[in-house]
Amino acid sequence: MGSGLWLFQEQRYRDAFTWQGVPTWDAPSLTSFHRVMRNDGYLLGWSDVRAGALWVSYRVAAVKDAAIGSRPGFSADWRTLWPIGTDSYSGSGYDRGHLAPNYAIAAVHGRQAQVDTFLMSNMLPQTPELNRQLWQRLEEAVMDHFAPRFEHLQVITGPVYAEGFTNTMQRVGFVEVPKAFYKIIVAPHPETPLALAFIMPQDVQGNEPLDKYLVTIDEIEVRTGLNFFPDLTPAVEQMLEGRVNTHGWALEDVAHKPGRFQ
């Protein structure tokens, strides 16, 4: 009975924070293997080799006048194999970059979920120009522009590392530094889902248009070794993942728009 209840609860969490299956890997390898960690508001695929998350998955919806609490303090996550402290990035030149974002998770899923976004397992090293400018603008576009256009959105985001083990020694403490970051945004209509996907490198200036970094989901899969939405039928997978299609998103309205904090 106990194990049955656990499996039921686990499936309920996965259904709440994912769409068409939890991300997995195309071919088993040390760099793509991960374990799923459950948090309030999001799921996270943790790599003990990279000492960082390979993906986070969460859902958002349009909110009106969301008043979220003050920013919580950062905290270590006891579930990580390596000791990654709140000061692990000190003096590195990198920001503690959120994967599951503070504002969106807090506005949609509540205070405890917001607290969970400040776990160090949800952080990866990001340059200030990316974290505070370009990446911030994309996160704002998701909540301010895309979410109001659709009933709800599925978002998966994570790092892009150099191929194989060629970059594994570039680390902040135990944490490997990604070369870039991806974000996949899906409006999961049952018959005709829509998707946008981005890869943003670490060396951006910060003021670039968002649409400069549009890619296919297939490209993200090739560069990460992950398989997103594994439960899709082949026909829908080809349509959704194999091409860049901005129809319906009105991306041009926000591609050049500066962030609200700039």
Instruction: List the catalytic residues.
Output: 98
DSSP letters, 184-210, are: EEEE--SSS-EEEEEEEETT--S-S-G
CA triplet 164, 170, 176: central angle to 5 degrees?
A: 70
Task: Name the one residue in this structure whose structure tokens are 């000190």.
Answer: 90
Q: What's the rounded Cα separation, in Å, for the pair 188 and 28?
A: 28
> Do 87 and 74 meet the contact criterion of CB atoms below 8 Å apart?
no
Q: What's the rounded Cα separation, in Å, for the pair 28 and 32?
A: 7
DSSP letters, 111-135, are: HHHHHHTTBGGGEEEE-HHIIIIIH
Q: What's the rounded Cα separation, in Å, for the pair 114 and 178?
A: 24
